[in-house]
Amino acid sequence: MHENILLKQEAEKVGFWALPPTVDEFLDYIGLKDNVYEYWKTHLRSIFPDNIHVSNNYVLLTGAIGTGKSTVSKISALYTLCRLLMLKNLDYFHLTITKPIQFLFFHVKIEKARAEFVSYVEEIVQTNKFFRYLINERKKVKDAKPMPFQFVSDGARSNSSIGGDVLFYVFSEANFVNENVISFKIDQAYKRFKSRFLAAMPYMGNIIIDTSASFEGAISDVLSDKDDFYTVRASQWDVKPFLYFKKGHFLVYTGGIDTGAKILHEDEDLSKYESGKIIKVPKELEREFKSNIHTALLDLAGLNIRAPNAIFNTEILSDVVNKENYFPDTDIIFNLPNYCDLLKKILDSNAYYYMHVDTSIKGDNTGIALATWKSDNKIHIDFCCGLHNNGEEIPMYIIQEFIEKMLKLGINIHKVSADSFQSYKLLQDITRIYRIQTQIINIDSMPSVYFALKNLL
């Protein structure tokens, strides 16, 4: 009773014209009480611990598909709007309203954000009895200032938040957006939200990352390591425990650097596997895990896993990486022609060499490798290096200079291949000027090349 009195006093001090409902009461009021799994209700109560406070402004919801992550994001947005409408003004937060307070929903495609999020929350606000009651009651409150709000959709190729006062963000399926794009978007949201709504953060406002699982190193892995993020990584059986473990369980190793994901035998020695990489899976899902363990780990267990086609692990390479390396793993691209004299001494002048170029524009390495067949079943890769330009654009003419110098030194470059990205002109020039065969080899469109290499190794 005493705590409730203190809460009401604080609510009045902050500027609420009435004590907002708890998140459980809110779900009941808008008719969604029975539409949310108890698992998510528990987390909603943690994020919104009472009628007016927010315990965590930054939230990461990740894991299995179809578990209700997006529903939680929408409910959080609507609940935040409920609290916003129950404020007379934003004076306590030292804010003056000169334009609508925005709720922004991001998806890789802006049309998806509009269809899956904005349309839904707009319809709830416009048609739900509780919100109609709330908006009408607010009009009767003495000294209440206008509280305009707006739902905004955003995509990878747009920037809808420029100039806006965004109180609430949702970044949907963030793991499947270009890493540079999503990192920039989230970083901008973080800075804008904190600079504008710092005083309001104990009471309202969120940045929610809502994404299915992907591969190790995805943005959800990066954010989960941050101390200020409230992270939920949900499996199908976490969210719906009433459906699982009635038939028992089996153990799955989720995969590591040296060993791929696998179902473990009952009598297997578990000590040889990395700690924390063994999970207990309900028997009801055994068929799915036996059919495709990697898909099951992503979609059902909700784990970011090591990519199944990640071929370069210690176990494989320890037997084949045995040539002395005379060159750095990475270097500035302008040093590339300087390698030619040393390559002349190392390479076999009687062999035909194949060169592959993995191109990039800026901020990443352009990879170059030289390989030759030493016998019917053995390939030697005598040179490979990642080349950069300190974050600036990669000058492709340097690669042509390298080829030209190699040819003049008597090295037989029989064929040059490249990925499709920004490489068509490079290959055309190489064919035209040096009469060398060229080929596009793009792993995205020709995955057989990748898996052939894996099988070869």
Whether 309 maps to a domain, the answer reads no
pLDDT tens digits along 322-350 = 778 888 888 999 999 999 999 999 998 89
Q: What is the pLDDT of residue 88?
A: 96
In this structure, what DSSP letter does residue 68 have? S
Contacts for 256-265: CB closer than 8 Å, 24+ residues apart = 256/306, 257/306, 257/313, 257/314, 258/313, 258/314, 258/315, 259/315, 260/306, 260/308, 261/293, 261/294, 261/297, 261/305, 261/306, 261/308, 262/293, 263/289, 263/290, 263/293
Q: Are residues 362 and 392 in the same domain?
A: yes
Q: Are residues 156 and 18 in the same domain?
A: yes
Q: What is the pLDDT of residue 2?
A: 66
- Residue where the block lists tokens 């793993």: 329
Q: What is the pLDDT of residue 298?
A: 94
pLDDT tens digits along 106-144 = 998 999 999 999 999 999 999 999 999 999 999 999 989
Last residue of a domain, one of 184, 216, 234: 234
Estimate to the nearest angstrom the gap between the alpha carbon of 214 and the chain centroid.
7
Q: What is the pLDDT of residue 180?
A: 80
**Cα 417 to Cα 359: distance, rounded to the nearest angstrom:** 11
Whether 136 maps to a domain, the answer reads yes
Q: Are residues 208 and 342 in the same domain?
A: no
Last residue of a domain, one of 207, 234, 261: 234
Using DSSP, how many helices (H) and how many strands (E) does the chain show?
17, 15
Number of domains the chain is built from: 3
Estimate to the nearest angstrom the gap between the alpha carbon of 351 and the chain centroid.
44
Whether 154 maps to a domain, the answer reads yes
DSSP lists the bridge partners of residue 278 as 253
Q: Are residues 223 and 246 in the same domain?
A: no
Q: What is the pTM of this model?
A: 0.73
407 has a pLDDT exceeding 90 = yes
Q: What is the pLDDT of residue 63?
A: 96
- Residue where the block lists tokens 């990192």: 183
Number of other residues whose CB lies within 10 A of the CB of residue 22: 17
Q: Are residues 360 and 405 in the same domain?
A: yes
Whether 305 maps to a domain, the answer reads no
- Residue where the block lists tokens 């009471």: 203
Helix, strand, or coil here: 211?
strand
| pLDDT > 70 fraction of the chain, expressed in percent and rounded | 92
188 has a pLDDT exceeding 90 = yes
Whether 434 maps to a domain, the answer reads yes
pLDDT tens digits along 13-64 = 999 999 999 999 999 999 999 999 999 999 999 999 999 999 999 999 999 9
Number of other residues whose CB lies within 10 A of the CB of residue 382: 19
Q: What is the pLDDT of residue 147?
A: 95
Domain range holding 55?
Answer: 2-234
Q: Are residues 48 and 108 in the same domain?
A: yes
Q: Are residues 229 and 258 in the same domain?
A: no
Q: What is the pLDDT of residue 370?
A: 95
318 has a pLDDT exceeding 80 = no
Q: Are residues 278 and 331 in the same domain?
A: no
CATH of the domain at 182: 3.40.50
Last residue of a domain, one of 218, 234, 250: 234
157 pLDDT band, cuts 50/70/90, is: confident
Look at residues 232, 233, 229 and name the one whose alpha carbon lies nearest to residue 186: 229
CATH of the domain at 401: 3.30.420.40
**Cα 138 to Cα 115: distance, rounded to the nearest angstrom:** 29
The residue count for the chain: 457
Q: Are residues 78 and 148 in the same domain?
A: yes
**Cα 404 to Cα 407: distance, rounded to the nearest angstrom:** 5
Q: Are residues 39 and 159 in the same domain?
A: yes
Q: Are residues 172 and 197 in the same domain?
A: yes
Whether 306 maps to a domain, the answer reads no
Q: Are residues 449 and 323 in the same domain?
A: yes
Whether 304 maps to a domain, the answer reads no
Q: 92 is written with which tokens?
A: 């306590």
Q: What is the pLDDT of residue 151?
A: 97
Whether 101 maps to a domain, the answer reads yes
